[in-house]
Amino acid sequence: MSLPDLEVRTEGRMLVAAVKGEIDMSNADGLGSAISRQISNDALGLVLDLSGVEYLDSAALQMLFEVRRHLATRGQAMRLVVPAGAMIAPALEIVDIPGTIGVAETPEAALESLIEAIPEARGAEPPIQEPEH
């Protein structure tokens, strides 16, 4: 098993992880774990750039949902970067990843989408939760 190339950088309180290569059943779990380990507790979200991915299978799709689920339990959000016409786009559309996780064509657009979706990223305070009686 060899993991695809993974490059990670931070943009403010967002983590941007770029993957290059193929994601399949031989490496999907390892890649998901590697990505999850990179996300600090104070990060607001993850942009996962898949523009360098030429192939993914059902294990890769499952890994994407698992990373999203992991982030959601921590109050963090996720967007994917998949350019228009990318070879992997049809597979993502079949399982409605654009509708459930969110997809943008560039890392900048994905970051902007996260900033719009997360009040703390815009500098706003989170809403105050009233205690239940």
39: left (phi over 0), alpha (psi -120 to 50) or beta: beta
Does residue 1 register a pLDDT over 90? no
Amino acid in position 38: Q
Residue 120 confidence class, pLDDT cut points 50, 70, 90: confident
pTM value > 0.95: no
Mean pLDDT of 19-45: 95
Mean pLDDT of 42-67: 96
Which region among 101-105, 113-117, 124-128 has the lowest average model confidence (pLDDT)? 124-128
Does residue 3 register a pLDDT over 80? no
Domains and CATH numbers, the chain: 5-122 (3.30.750.24)
What separation in angstroms does the CA of 112 have from each of 37, 59, 77, 121?
24, 28, 12, 10
Does residue 54 register a pLDDT over 60? yes
